[in-house]
Structure 1
């Protein structure tokens, strides 16, 4: 029997119910689609000719794309398919996720055990985390001696005892920051602030290499002690993953595997869950943003060494960057532009940059060298780029105008192509790849699924199945509340973040919009609310609008039953606050995806009753990066004009925004019994015409209705994501938009008809 038919039997109604599980037809269909990709013959090799006439052999993987929203049971479906692939081939298999929460959920929430029960296939699973997740015994000991004030801290003593309790039998995953978070929640505090993870994590690979060289000269007993103190548990963790038959890892590690075989050469089949975030993960991994004084501070904490000379250099460098920002209205600027527009400031900055060095932190020092080289090569025609794929520039944060040196990839599609393509003697990273997510579709396009594979560098000939959308059998219920466009944009200046125009010198929040979102928080306070915002700055501003600026803008603040999630509090810790009876709302930028806020009673229904999208998650893209992206499109894809290339980039951004919105909406509906009210509080979005007319007629005061009608007539959303936001709403719920309420500028709910929850 072939694998596809075997899976059909494994997930049949009778088999699933006999195992005491709920049957989902969508789950069975999905597992068979995955099996089609995993069992298909590999595509034939292709011959390509280079510009210089050479012929190259292109090897392709078998690939498939499956969009499966909440409620389809995709985790169990792909685990069943992977286990059956392991049974038929004996190959190790892999799952890659964007969030660590999903990694742990796969192992701990029962889906893996259920998959093994249904298939009769047992596997050895291993979660594969990155080095920075592990606590260093050596660093803990260094902190214990370096900071005597910690001796009086009960938190520190508990943490120290936890670390000292490790031995050769300790599970490596029990030596991670995640494990401590489950035990105590917070790291110990130092100088009234939670300790920085960088202070306690094991060294990066470059530092490890140096220390191991030094270690070679130590006596055997000291060498063994050193190993137990630093990366012993991480190395055991890596070894365990190498011996596992099911590896569960994250997108960044998957990318590293594509570069250097981190996970082992015999890992040939993978399901990439949360695949919509794979490009973001790779871009983040490849990007560097360095603030001199912050980089120096972190380096000193990690190395334990201080240099007054480098303190002076870092401050001088920051001051020079701020001077350039003030003269350039805080616009991003490349080295080439700086050299031509402000030659004196360019020379001064380069001179200081040449004196800035952090040899005790090799990874940071490499970034400094990269930036220095870009400025030294400022006569490069594209403005200080490293290669055709990277751009280096001086940037300023949108709100606080903090300066930083940035190194970013122009695009990541070619990088992602390494997963599914190989040339000559290099095979693709994997032979079989299934890309899965609740939001793969390009929602700003007329045919949302037609060109999904292009964004991942996947050749059309690699597709074993067409891009498939799986729908759940039970849907849940969504009702809508739309914004009052009279509130105005979230930011005062019309040159808004994300709309492709230059940022103003002082970007300021619209106080009317802040008050509007605050009123929404207080609307029917008995209803539990999750408020999603794009940035931590949004959280700070909303908190300030209610209570004044926080004295310490970090951690989490509980005010009037509302938890304001501030950096660097882990989102998982914030999620646990739903069990606090005093908490009625959470405001966070970190729960757009990967979180399932189940009520404390253990039922499947959500804690959330009102889900609020404060503003659309349209990111600011540097003008310099955008210009370089346009150049790259014209050069590599033969786009004829800058206007066409710019339009393509805006559409790509809109697709990313709408996917994130779809993921955010999914926080409110996780199962067929869920019922949520969705507030869209961004006044920039378009409003349905018939609904807008009906709501105008519903105003008790006809003059106010006329004023709203005039605002509707003048309302012209410019960004595609603002015009097409309803594409992020599943088809099964879109009819409810016509019955939406309006949340007025005065904080009242206005209805055309009485909704079912009232």
Structure 2
């Protein structure tokens, strides 16, 4: 069927509510009030151009709630909508399940079947040219291990076979996967790519095919990191679009920060010198190799952790790297007309030289005298027991300026997650995104929604950032954080959850326990945990603030309870979660990835235990630097950074309890500060509305009843 013109489509397309009803019926679901409210709000945002933040609890059906109005808009306007996610799991769910079913369901209503595509960074696709020409020499300590060499050869051989079978060239379609080292032999970064105009196999390029498919699609599914790279480097990886939906928006700042971070090691500098050594004079390349040796000496003597000032020896070593890399870049000169193999070698060398040079410049310019003027944080990592050399890292203190300019000032944006309203307000995350507060002064609104025209309290004045260094080009820190009280108009909406948290869940805070210390889990806490697990009959997910605590609890509880205790690290996380789900009496203990990555409905999970409020580690370089920078500008660094981090992770963690309408259980927080500390109210207001109690016997009795009911059911 011919595509309707935009004018004709506007008069003939069904409404969003009609399409949603059709979609829900087609997938065998039930239309829910929160889902309808969210779909209406997304439709309004599309029509008005106002940005929207939607908190939609688990079970709302938020994917359909944003996909239906987004698809309708794409078909009506003959345009593309971008949907960005944080995790591969959600990308696969959208592309493999939600979008195919939705496209078929809406085909007759829309007059044609909507098209969709997935788009990732170029490094995720197999490169046929590199496959033919071979990867450049890549020094790696692991290659001195004959076993590693043998394994690499087998994996590369398998990749060559797979290249003749795959249709997509997408690394995620290769099962089982291969190591990063093997994948690097058959892939290139965007900077290393020759480009379609020069590559001899461009017509068969998997990455180019993926981009071409994205250009024809109504909905393009991508990830937060690629969205950030597209914004920073202006390469227009994404097709033209006027609407972007950010799912898993609670992870947006961390993913963009990671994409905007840089790393420099002596081995990176040495590799850059070797790669350009065959293309320029030995004397010029040798200077870079000497600079690599000098950097190695300085980093070996360095103290791991955050750097508040640039040590003289390190400054000298970085300056030598910067100057030597610049000399090599100059010697390489502009691109020349040459055969593809020589052009590829030159491109690979230039890519790494640029990275080394630009990261060295960024490190050298990160230490502004005034804390309020700094935009980056620098730290050193080193592990004497590892074969990896010490590494310098640099990350942006804020990505709010980048997000405001690249997202909110150029296209309509919908941000959604089950966890957005922290402390009862969207403002906490909005200020990190570069949006103004929804209420004067950024105070939490009285309800769960509000529009805004001001900005965050924690960012430095733009005038202080006016002299951006040239090295910031293509980085998140090129854009100063917003500093005025005007900005994009946005609305916050909490559509709630279909789950009855008050009737089906208890929040137990062990008020009587002493505050957690630095010496590990106390015997009182372990006794409390033992009594809770015994009452629950197993069925427990233990979320711990560190692997040390998780292992300590595992060892202690294996001696105190009769139920199996699994610990993260005993096997792959996926296998452990499956074993936990399959045996209702089993308990699973672990740390960070379990706080957000576990979806176990039913009686296998009726107790979620949190050992302590998940504040960031005091030695976390990025979080501690952000907190200090806010305090230097007169803000409350603890509440803005540490408490916000804890509230977000705590809300994600307790969200593991309810995955279906029938789930019931207890969230037990064994940190008395949640009840006693002044910030406890902010943290509790970030959680679902469970029935609260401090009475341990009441909780144990409830767990025993749940255990008995589950036994009777099974």
Query: Is the Cα contact below 8 Å between 2:265 and 2:390 reproduced in 1?
Result: yes
Report matched runs for 1:430-469 at 5 Å.
430=411, 432-443=412-423, 448-449=425-426, 453-458=430-435, 460=452, 466-469=491-494
Gaps of 5+ in 1: 43-61, 188-193, 217-222, 340-344, 423-427, 493-508, 548-558, 599-604, 634-640, 688-715, 743-748
Alpha-carbon deviation of 1:110? 3.7
Aligned to 1:63: 51
Report matched runs for 1:334-349 at 5 Å.
334-336=308-310, 338-339=311-312, 345=313
Aligned to 2:122: 131
The structure-2 alpha-carbon separation of the partners of 1:133 and 1:738, relative to structure 1 and needing over 3 Å to count, comes to: same
Is 2:8 aligned against 1:27? no
Query: Is the Cα contact below 8 Å between 1:288 and 1:406 reproduced in 2?
Result: yes
RMSD: 5.1
Aligned to 1:76: 64
Query: Is the Cα contact below 8 Å between 1:273 and 1:437 reproduced in 2?
Result: yes
Alpha-carbon deviation of 1:101? 0.8
TM-score (norm 1): 0.65
Aligned to 1:551: none
Is 2:206 aligned against 1:233? yes
Query: Is the Cα contact below 8 Å between 1:199 and 1:302 reproduced in 2?
Result: no
The structure-2 alpha-carbon separation of the partners of 1:416 and 1:366, relative to structure 1 and needing over 3 Å to count, comes to: same
Residue 65 of structure 1: SS of its match in structure 2? strand
The structure-2 alpha-carbon separation of the partners of 1:541 and 1:287, relative to structure 1 and needing over 3 Å to count, comes to: farther
Tell me how far apart the structure 2 counterparts of residues 378 and 72 of structure 1 sit (CA, whole Å): 44
Aligned to 1:619: 616
Report matched runs for 1:668-747 at 5 Å.
668-681=657-670, 683=671, 685-687=673-675, 717=677, 720=679, 724-731=682-689, 733=690, 735-738=691-694
Aligned to 1:252: 225
Alpha-carbon deviation of 1:31? 0.7
Tell me how far apart the structure 2 counterparts of residues 625 and 253 of structure 1 sit (CA, whole Å): 21
1:593 to 564, 581, 596: 596
The structure-2 alpha-carbon separation of the partners of 1:578 and 1:160, relative to structure 1 and needing over 3 Å to count, comes to: farther
Tell me how far apart the structure 1 counterparts of residues 557 and 133 of structure 2 sit (CA, whole Å): 42
The structure-2 alpha-carbon separation of the partners of 1:81 and 1:753, relative to structure 1 and needing over 3 Å to count, comes to: closer
Alpha-carbon deviation of 1:105? 0.6
The structure-2 alpha-carbon separation of the partners of 1:587 and 1:642, relative to structure 1 and needing over 3 Å to count, comes to: closer
Alpha-carbon deviation of 1:320? 3.6
Aligned to 1:470: 495
Is 2:46 aligned against 1:38? yes
TM-score (norm 2): 0.69
Tell me how far apart the structure 2 counterparts of residues 199 and 586 of structure 1 sit (CA, whole Å): 34
Alpha-carbon deviation of 1:678? 2.4
Query: Is the Cα contact below 8 Å between 1:288 and 1:407 reproduced in 2?
Result: yes
Cα deviation 1:70-109 (Å, max 9, x = unaligned): 1111111111111221233222212111111111111223
Tell me how far apart the structure 2 counterparts of residues 517 and 31 of structure 1 sit (CA, whole Å): 44
The structure-2 alpha-carbon separation of the partners of 1:87 and 1:527, relative to structure 1 and needing over 3 Å to count, comes to: same
Alpha-carbon deviation of 1:65? 1.4
The structure-2 alpha-carbon separation of the partners of 1:113 and 1:302, relative to structure 1 and needing over 3 Å to count, comes to: farther
Is 2:19 aligned against 1:10? yes
Cα deviation 1:657-698 (Å, max 9, x = unaligned): 2122212222221221122332324x36333xxxxxxxxxxx
Alpha-carbon deviation of 1:178? 2.1
Tell me how far apart the structure 1 counterparts of residues 429 and 377 of structure 2 sit (CA, whole Å): 29
Aligned to 2:538: 527
Is 2:95 aligned against 1:107? yes
2:77 to 89, 103, 110: 89
Tell me how far apart the structure 2 counterparts of residues 17 and 112 of structure 1 sit (CA, whole Å): 15
Residue 46 of structure 2: SS of its match in structure 1? helix
Tell me how far apart the structure 2 counterparts of residues 11 and 375 of structure 1 sit (CA, whole Å): 51
Is 2:397 aligned against 1:410? yes
Alpha-carbon deviation of 1:284? 1.3
Aligned to 2:518: 491
Tell me how far apart the structure 1 counterparts of residues 413 and 367 of structure 2 sit (CA, whole Å): 42
Is 2:283 aligned against 1:274? no
Residue 668 of structure 1: SS of its match in structure 2? coil
Alpha-carbon deviation of 1:116? 4.7
Tell me how far apart the structure 1 counterparts of residues 292 and 531 of structure 2 sit (CA, whole Å): 44
Alpha-carbon deviation of 1:246? 1.0
Alpha-carbon deviation of 1:389? 5.9
Q: How many residues align?
A: 605
The structure-2 alpha-carbon separation of the partners of 1:409 and 1:463, relative to structure 1 and needing over 3 Å to count, comes to: closer
Aligned to 2:653: 664
Query: Is the Cα contact below 8 Å between 2:83 and 2:220 reproduced in 1?
Result: yes
Alpha-carbon deviation of 1:28? 1.5
Aligned to 1:602: none
Gaps of 5+ in 2: 1-9, 138-142, 279-284, 330-347, 437-451, 454-486, 709-714
Tell me how far apart the structure 2 counterparts of residues 64 and 208 of structure 1 sit (CA, whole Å): 37
